[in-house]
Amino acid sequence: MPRAALTIPPEVRSRLKRLSLSPRRMAGTRGFGMHASRSKGAGLEFAQYRAYEPGDEPRRIDWKLFSRSDKFFVREAEEESPLAVWVLIDASGSMTQADRARPDWARFDAARLLALCIGELATMQGDRFGWMVLQDGALAVVDPQSGRGQAGRMQVDLARITPGGTFPEPPTLAPLWERIGARDLVIFLSDCFDEGGIALIERLAKAGREVLAIQLLTVEEREFPFDGGFRFREQESGAELVSDGAALRATFLARFAAARETLDERLDKAGIRHAAVWLDEPIDRPLQALFGRGAGAP
């Protein structure tokens, strides 16, 4: 059965307007570079007026027009941009994990909403974006395009996906190398538990692609709120462990924290910027960390 369609909440959409979906490429000691955005924003060539919305910068309001109409309008301008954004979405079995307190909100649902937010950012800037769904034995690819039609297609396309199975093997991922260009921006959405996924983005980064990773984590992984006897089941392999939750809590939390620290070090070493979001947090939190003002500054 297809998953329910998601929409970006109004408050999240408003906060997205403060972000800049820009690559920050390291080049020796020269620091980070920024792409020239084809954004309807603070450009040189006037494009159009539109009604003011919460989150718009006051300096972009046309005050002369306000004095004549008594309404707030924002000036939009346009610049050329070479940026293409790829969203890589992990659709393996572990992405079906949800919390007992909210069983209808799994990692994959959060990944879908994050993908829509990234598409919205690209659309606001006039940049092209596409996506790849990484699934056991399959690689669904939609090449980068710009515009609202692409955003609508993403919403429909991702609603059709049911995650499951293991992370795809390298032969399945082969077309990926033909599609992602040397100057493209790659954003990986995953729980980052599969070695195959981490090896993939490390290889992309080594090949000169700019790669970002967003890790999606459940509340129960943060708190491990289990008491009494439980049967713990690994989503992809089916392996099971029967034990007392309280007895496992301290060991689990310590090992989980150590695993996350090891992952962070590995991504840092590969030059992959990264952020994480727990399923009870605002969905745009990692985007604020990666693309907000001052993000990635040395």
Nearest to 236 by CA among 163, 158, 170: 163
Question: What are the DSSP calls for 11-75, one per residue?
Answer: HHHHHHTT------EE-TTS-EE------SBS-SEEEEEEE--TT--GGGB-HHHHHHHSS-EEE
Question: Does any domain span residue 23?
Answer: no
Question: Does any domain span residue 25?
Answer: no
Please say whether the beta carbons of 285 and 292 come within 8 A. no
Residue 157 phi, psi (nearest 5): -65, -45
- Tens digits of per-residue pLDDT, 173-187? 999 998 999 889 999
Question: Does any domain span residue 100?
Answer: yes
- Are both 51 and 140 inside the same structural domain? no
CA torsion, ordered 39, 42, 45, 48, to nearest 10 deg: 70
How far is Cα 193 from Cα 162, in angstroms, rounded to an integer?
Answer: 19
The pLDDT, as a whole number, for residue 237 is 53
Which residues of the chain fall short of a pLDDT of 50? 26-45, 47, 78-80, 230, 232, 240-242, 297-298
Domain with 201 in it: 82-290
- Are both 175 and 226 inside the same structural domain? yes
- Are both 51 and 170 inside the same structural domain? no
How many C-beta atoms surround the C-beta of residue 80 within 10 A? Answer: 10
The pLDDT, as a whole number, for residue 294 is 64
Give Cα separations from 246 to 124, 131, 224, 257, 259 (angstroms): 48, 41, 9, 17, 20
The pLDDT, as a whole number, for residue 36 is 45
Question: Does any domain span residue 155?
Answer: yes
Amino acid, res. 271:
G
The pLDDT, as a whole number, for residue 141 is 96
Total tally of structural domains belonging to the chain: 2
The pLDDT, as a whole number, for residue 69 is 77
Q: What is the DSSP secondary structure assignment for residue 166, as one 8-state letter?
A: P
